[in-house]
Amino acid sequence: MTMVQVCGFVLCLFIGLLGLTILYLIWTKQINLSELLSEANGDASMSRFQLLIFTFVIAISLVEIVASDMKFPDIPTGVLTLLGISASTYAVGKGISYSQPDIMMGTSGGTSDPSAAQAAADDAKAHADEAKAHAASAQQSADQVKPANL
Closer residue to another protein, CB minimum distance, 59 or 126: 59
Distance CA 22, CA 134 (A): 49
| Piece in contact with another protein (CB under 8 A), picked from 92-100, 118-126, 127-135, 139-147 | 92-100
Name the DSSP class of 109: S
| Piece in contact with another protein (CB under 8 A), picked from 72-80, 120-128, 133-141, 142-150 | 72-80
| Piece in contact with another protein (CB under 8 A), picked from 49-57, 124-132, 133-141, 142-150 | 49-57
Closer residue to another protein, CB minimum distance, 77 or 144: 77
Exposed e or buried b for every residue in 31-54, given b needs 16+ CB within 10 A? eeeeeeeebeeeeebebbebbeeb
Q: Where in 110-139 is the site for another protein (CB under 8 A)?
A: 111-113
Question: Could you tell me which residues are beta bridge partners of residue 38?
Answer: 44
Which phi and psi (to 5°) does residue 92 adopt? -65, -40
Closer residue to another protein, CB minimum distance, 59 or 119: 59
